[in-house]
Structure formats: structure tokens, C-alpha cells
Structure 1
Amino acid sequence: MTYNEFKDKIFKLAKEKGFEAQIYYSKNYEFSIRLANGQMDEYKDANSSSISLKVLKDGKIGSASTTMFDSPERLLEEAITNYEIIDSKEENLFYDGSGEYLDIKSYYGEFEKLSVKEKMEKLNKMFEIASKDENIMMVPMTVYAHQTTEVAMANTLGLDKTYKGDGGYAYLSVVAKDKSPRSGFWYGLAPKPENLKVEDISEKAVEEAKAKIGAKSVKSGKYRVIFRKDEFASLLSAMLIPMISAENAQKNMSPLKNKLGEKIASDILKIKDVPFYEGSLSNASFDSEGVPTKEKNIIENGEFKTFLYNLKTAKKEGKESTGNAAGRGIAPINLLVEPGEKSFDELLKELNNGIIITSLEGLHSGANPISGEFSLGAQGLKVENGKIVSGVEQITVSGNFLDILKKIEVVGNDMWISFGGTISPSVLISEIDIAGNE
């Protein structure tokens, strides 16, 4: 039975029983190869698929899932059975497919054209570049991978949308010689193989490890810092994304509740949610409820402009969904920090004396998006007179995330794209508390 035959059969049966119905079908292909200390450790070449059915009546939903296009009657009965045992007063909704959907190109198929031999050559090249450096004693892990995702979504209200996207990624971990071994890690991602620069990834991982050789702590105090692009993206993902969820605000779990229209950040900070960003693997023309995505300002010149909504949270406030449903939660498509004009080297000169934060540890345990408070182990680089002079380790950075946003002095132009679609440059912060043991 084909997807369309399966869908039509279920929709017909559901309507006969007095239900609206919605199907979400996803098909995924994943290829990955991994070296452990230069030896083949994992080879994956696999397809997977899933079919999710939801039935809706009187604002209540029942769901069921399968992996095969067979027995539509049984899947429907399972969803209806689950509907009958649900005890919830929250009103659920389906989207009818109306509105304007962006034409976003997310599938290129270039990774699939590469032979296994070509992929192995790229993997081995990463290992060779890293291992030939005299300071590197070990290359524990080297990975080259790509994936393709296809989605079809339809319901009895008129929604009928499809999506196909692909992209690849590579990462490398290395260990440098020192009194105690120093680790380095770097990754990259891209929609096409030619944009996934394996040489750069290897060299950057080596650079990360070598920068830590001889690293030591600093005295406790207040420091001017640069949050490097990758680490500022991580901090935004852990702190800002939960804060801008309308669901969290409605549950009194966001410090931004009742702050719409207020100044919450530096005047120079602009953050958007965008459906498309060149090089991102998170681009999408519709969210997980089928609602069209659109560009929106979240923070504009320091002012908080909007929460992100799915259908249910929007209904509670008499608003429209912003197209940000993400499974059972709410999230941006691409959270974009608008770049400034200065390069990273220019940020260093602007910093003059301070610390570059290159690694944050314990983001899921040491950062609280409900209060905004964080206390995180960190590593970095010490800067004197605008130049990097040594590595920094065994420090803790702490403060309130919203205070940090207000203390942004300069936004760089060195953009970083993370796996989760958070896109950010490096930023210079006027002051932050750092605890060290020197």
C-alpha cells in the first residue's frame, strides 16, 4: 500500500467515525563512518521510517504509530482507543493548510552522489592532517556523515505538505601532549560536500588542543570577555530558546513573561527567527504542525518583540501560531543573531585585556532558563594587549543570562551555524564574574 492509499483509507474511515485525522510520515537515510584512533570503528548505511496518526474530536487528541503502510484500520482503532482514555482539558487543534508557504530548497543530493571510497578518503584525510602534527599524541575519534530526511504531512482539514532535506557533517577529537593531555574538538556541517571543509575541521581541532598546552587558571574577579561564536550559540540554545517559548511563559517558567516591548538586551543586539539561512541544515517552510514558517524579530535593538507559538499556545492568547511547533515543544527554525561589522581579530583588539570563552561545561545542569542564572565550568584563552597569550582552564563563569545580553558591547561578523540551527557570531561582553584558583 502506498502512502496516498494508506492516507486516503484512514481519512475516509476516520470521517465515518466522526473524527478529524492527521498523518505525519517521515523517512530518514543516514550514512556515517567513524575511525577510533585511526581504525575503522563504525560503518552505518541505514534507512528508517515512521508513520504517526492523530485523531481529533472535541479538542481532544488520540495518537498511534507504526512503521509500515499496512492495516490502516488497526492503526485508526488504536488511535481512537488512546483518544478515549485521554483525560485532558487542553484544547488541541489541527491546521488547515491555509496561508503562504515559502519555496525553500533544502535537498541537493550531492552527498549521495559520493562513492564510499570518496567518503573514506575525506575521513582519512581528516585523521592524517591531525595526526601528523608533532604536538598531537592521539586522534581518538574522526567522523564523516550525511543524512536525508523526507516528510509528508496531511489531514482531513486540507493540509497536505511535503519536505525533503539533506546535509552532511564531520567532526574530530584530538589529544595534545602536555603534563596532562589536552583535548581539542571541532565540527562542521553543510548542505553540500564542497562546503564541508574537512581540512579546516582537522586544523581547527588541532589548534584547539594546542592552545590549551600550558593552560592555567586565573585570579577570581570581574573580566571583560569574548564569548566565541560557537559557545555563544550554545548559551543561546540553552537559555534563550526556552525563555521565548510561549508555553513556558504561560506556565510561569520564563523570566521574559510580561516583558514584551521592554528593553532586555543591549541596543546593538538583534535576534531573529528565520525559515532559511544559507548553510543551515534546519531550514523549513512549515513546522511540525504544518503551519507555514516566517521570519520574525525576537529581539530588535535590545527590545523583546515576541514569544514563539504553536497552535495550542496561540489559541490560549487569541493569537496566530508563529510556525514554531517542534514535536511536543516550541523552538525557532533558525535562531539568528544578526552580525555586526567587526572581525574576530578586531574583537580581540577591542577586548584588549580579558578572556575568550572557548568552552562551556555543564550547560544542562549549570544553566537555569527559568531564573536566567548560570554557573558553568569553562576553558578559554587569555588576551593581553589585543593578542592571545595563553590558555585558561579551571575557571567558572557565572551570572544572569539577561544581564549578559545587556552587557554586549560589540557583535562580531564571524558567523557560526550549530547543529540545532542556532546561528551566531562572537560577542564582546563588558563584564562577567569569573572564579579561578590562581
Structure 2
Amino acid sequence: MDIRSFQEKLFARGQELGVHKLEIYYQQGRSTSVRVVKGEIDAYTIKESGGLSLRLEHNGQMGYAYTEKLDEDSIDFLIEEARQNAGIVESKELEELFAGSESYVSLSTYSEALSNVAPEKLIEAALAMEKEALQADPRITMVHTSSVSNSESEVFIANNLGLDCAAKYNQAVAGIYVIAEEGGEKTTGGWYEYTLEDFDQVDYLKAAREAVKEAVSKLGADTIESSNYPVIFRQDAASTMLEIFTNIFSAEAVDKDFSRLKGKIGEQVAASIVTIVDDPHMANVPARCTFDAEGSATKRVEIIKEGQLLTFLHNRKTAQKFGVESTGHATKGSYRAKIGISPQNLFITAGATSLEDMIGSMDKGLMITDLQGTHAGANAVSGEFSLSCNGFLIENGAIVRPVNQITVSGNFFNLLQDVEVVGNDLRFLDSCTSPSLKVKSLTISGA
């Protein structure tokens, strides 16, 4: 049974049974992926997942039930299960169904052309990517992974108060991970490219060349003397750093005293050149969407503007507590998950300086290219971090050599204040992105 027919029958049955407030959250995903090794298909996988959650009001409480099957037998089961759960779950806060926002932005999130890509094209791309990497440099001794995937997902939220939000999304991704070797030393490098519109736009050969470049550039790395250094976080490392601490912008974290930004609305919390925005309406970004997990309309939100904190990210629950409107950032990890708060498409806005010019302006310092141990080495509440990393030593405006076996330490809240240059190299890959950032000084532990 298709989801629309199931919803109509479920709501009609609810009315028959005297249940007048019902809401469904439906989520479905499908992906086709191929991985090749040494010119042969190593794995070909078709994966489907998803299901539906029902919440309804019964005797003044909300009850929940879940199913993966959309059939006649599931309808009575869902309603009865949710009514029983309403009697068990005790909550001090009365949940309310949402009738929907006044309007929603029209946004293209699904490509028919991409959905119809033949599996053979995925295989051809994965094989070509592996071949390109092996031919690009003799120091590449192995392609650990060369894979291509084509995925799509669907979300549908509806209730009998008028909420009716539906969207489909899809994207194709080509990723590769290679190993370089020279003089007994081994290094690794990876890269991926994606498209949201047409598979022919996936530059998988570029992905291969970039992965090779990354792996080879690390050969000959050594540690450096421990000291305080000016630091450039390259775009990918800067994005990782921002992602580690995105929870500080969540109103839920603020409400629980898990963010040092509590009580600082209107204050200067970052350098004046730092502006942080969440904009899910941008074209051709993976995290684009027009509604959140509660059916609230999404919108462009300036969180920090020229260093000043303007707002937190809200769902309907925190917005009510704070006396503001939801910013459209309610999220669910799956159809079974509870409502939380996460960014949609959060990024530090780009500056005007290229990475090359950042490097050229540095007398002596470090460019960090990747951060490791992000789960154990950072405290999102205090802002303190101590992370293993790799990068390059810079002297007299030029890269001297690669660097490894080092740790960068500092405090994220201080880092925001100490940003001296913002790069122009934004590359949207996920829900959290940053251009390269030059920071005044951080502690580097090495030799």
C-alpha cells in the first residue's frame, strides 16, 4: 500500500475509534552501491530501510507506535499500541500536534534523471576511478576503496489538523581511498565528489586525482617542536572543528546548561569577520530541505553575524520555552527517534582570501589538514579540545614539509575570537561546512 492510501485509511480508522488527533512520520530510504578492488567488483549492495511512526492523543497524553509494514493489519495495531503507550508514558509537558506553517519555500530536492541511472554506470565509474588513481602516481601502491553509490530518500509528515509535508531527496557519490608508499613509509588519502542532479556531473576522475595528491603529499612527514603557532585550518579540518561544536548553538543544549553561549544573545562571541549561517534553501547542497522533522518551514537563519550572537537553533519545544518562533531545526535520526535539534546546512560564510594567499602571508606556522580523535578529544560544553592532527609546516610564505605526530590544543570559544582570516574556499559536503580559517595562535605538541 502506498503511503498516501495508508495515511487516509489510518486517519479514517482513528476517527471511527474516537481518536481525533493523529500524526504520522514516514521515512524511507534506498541505495545502490558498488565497490571495486583490483579491477573486480568486490561488493554490490542494494539496501532499503525505513518505516512509520504514529503518535496520537489519548486521555490527555501522547502515545507512540511504530511499523515497517504499510498494510491493513498494521492500522489497528498502530492505533491500539499507541493508545496503550499513552497510558504508560508519563510526561510533565503536554505535547501538541502542529497544524503546519503558513507557507513553505518551493525547492527542487529530487532528480528523476539521477533516480534512473543504470547500475552499470556505477560500476564503470568505480573501475575508472580506481584505474585513474593507480596511473596517476607510481607511489600509489594500492586503492583501498573505490566506491560509487546512488541513494534516495522520502519523508512524509501528516496529521489530521492540516499538516501535510512530503519531500523526496537523492544524490550520487563517488569516493576513493588510496595508499601511497615510498622508502617503507605508507600514507593514505581520500576524496569524494557528489551530484544532486545528473550522474554525469560526478567528477569521479577528479576524486581519484585529489585522493592521490592527498596521500602523496603526506610522504616524508615528521613531527615539529612543541610551541604556540599561528594555525591555518584547511577547509576540511575547519569543517570538522565546527562540526564538533555545533551543539553549542542548540537551544536544547542551552536550556540544559550544556552551552557556554547561554545568556549571550546580542553579545560579541566571535571575531567581527566571522558570520555563521544555516541556510537549507541553497541550491545544490546535500542538506537542502523546506521543512523540518516537525513540519515547521525551514528558513535562512543568521546565528552569528559579524561576531555577534543573534539566535540559537530551535525546534517547537524550545521555541515555546524561550518565547520565540521555531527556526525549523527539529530533527529525527530515524522514524523511531525522538525529536532533537540539529543544523540543516550550517556554515561559516566565505571570505575573500584564497588558501594560497593565507599560506603566502604566514612567516612561520602550521596548516592543519585533518583532525583525529574528535569524540574523545573535545568537550563541547567547556570548548576545550586536544586533537591529534596532520598538516604542513609553513615558513616564509611557503609549505616546507608535511607534519604528523602532533596534537593541537585550545578552546573553541577562544578560537572563534581569534580568527584572523576567513578563506574563500567553501565546499558544501555535509550539514556543517567552513572555509579555511587562519587563527592567531594555538598550542601544538610535537617533539
Which category describes the TM-score, using the shorter chain as reference length?
over 0.9
CA distance in 1, matches of 2:60, 2:93: 7
Matched, 1:115 2:118: yes
Check the 8 A contact 1:225/1:354 in 2, yes or no: yes
* Cα drift, residue 59 of structure 1: 6.5
Check the 8 A contact 2:115/2:170 in 1, yes or no: no
- Residue 172 of structure 1 is matched in structure 2 by 176
Matches within 5 A, 1:156-171: 156-171=160-175
* Cα drift, residue 189 of structure 1: 2.3
- Residue 238 of structure 2 is matched in structure 1 by 232
* Amino acid corresponding to residue 81 of structure 1 in structure 2: Q
- Residue 138 of structure 1 is matched in structure 2 by 142
Select the residue among 84, 89, 92 that pairs with 2:92.
89
* Cα drift, residue 153 of structure 1: 1.2
* Cα drift, residue 418 of structure 1: 2.5
- Residue 204 of structure 2 is matched in structure 1 by 198
* Cα drift, residue 109 of structure 1: 2.6
Deviates further, 341-350 or 47-56? 47-56
1:164-216 deviations in whole A, cap 9, x for unaligned? 11111121111111333111112222213233211111111111111111100
Check the 8 A contact 1:50/1:66 in 2, yes or no: yes
CA distance in 1, matches of 2:376, 2:58: 40
- Residue 28 of structure 2 is matched in structure 1 by 27
Matches within 5 A, 1:221-370: 221-239=227-245, 241-327=246-332, 328-370=339-381
Check the 8 A contact 2:33/2:122 in 1, yes or no: no
* Cα drift, residue 19 of structure 1: 4.7
1:243-265 deviations in whole A, cap 9, x for unaligned? 01111110111111111111111
- Residue 126 of structure 1 is matched in structure 2 by 129
* Amino acid corresponding to residue 236 of structure 2 in structure 1: D
What secondary structure does 1:17 align onto?
A: coil
* Cα drift, residue 18 of structure 1: 4.0
What secondary structure does 1:69 align onto?
A: coil
Query: For residues 226 and 38 of structure 1, do their structure 2 counterparts lie closer, same or farther at Cα, with a shift above 3 Å needed?
Result: farther
Query: For residues 166 and 385 of structure 1, do their structure 2 counterparts lie closer, same or farther at Cα, with a shift above 3 Å needed?
Result: same
Query: For residues 269 and 44 of structure 1, do their structure 2 counterparts lie closer, same or farther at Cα, with a shift above 3 Å needed?
Result: same
CA distance in 2, matches of 1:37, 1:310: 48
What secondary structure does 2:185 align onto?
A: coil
- Residue 9 of structure 2 is matched in structure 1 by 9
- Residue 76 of structure 1 is matched in structure 2 by 79
* Amino acid corresponding to residue 320 of structure 1 in structure 2: E
- Report the RMSD for the aligned CA atoms in angstroms: 1.6
CA distance in 2, matches of 1:58, 1:377: 54
Task: Give the alignment's TM-score, normalised by structure 1.
Answer: 0.95
- Residue 186 of structure 1 is matched in structure 2 by 191
CA distance in 2, matches of 1:376, 1:58: 51
For structure 2, list consecutive stretches of 5 or more residues without a partner in the other structure.
333-338
Check the 8 A contact 1:33/1:145 in 2, yes or no: yes
* Amino acid corresponding to residue 257 of structure 1 in structure 2: K
Deviates further, 124-133 or 19-28? 19-28
Percent identity reads: 36
- Residue 217 of structure 2 is matched in structure 1 by 211
Check the 8 A contact 1:243/1:256 in 2, yes or no: yes
CA distance in 1, matches of 2:97, 2:409: 43
Query: For residues 346 and 59 of structure 1, do their structure 2 counterparts lie closer, same or farther at Cα, with a shift above 3 Å needed?
Result: farther
What secondary structure does 1:425 align onto?
A: coil
Check the 8 A contact 1:190/1:280 in 2, yes or no: no
Check the 8 A contact 1:55/1:63 in 2, yes or no: yes
CA distance in 2, matches of 1:315, 1:60: 19
CA distance in 2, matches of 1:194, 1:10: 42
CA distance in 1, matches of 2:364, 2:59: 62
Check the 8 A contact 2:281/2:299 in 1, yes or no: no
- Residue 335 of structure 2 is matched in structure 1 by none
What secondary structure does 1:416 align onto?
A: coil
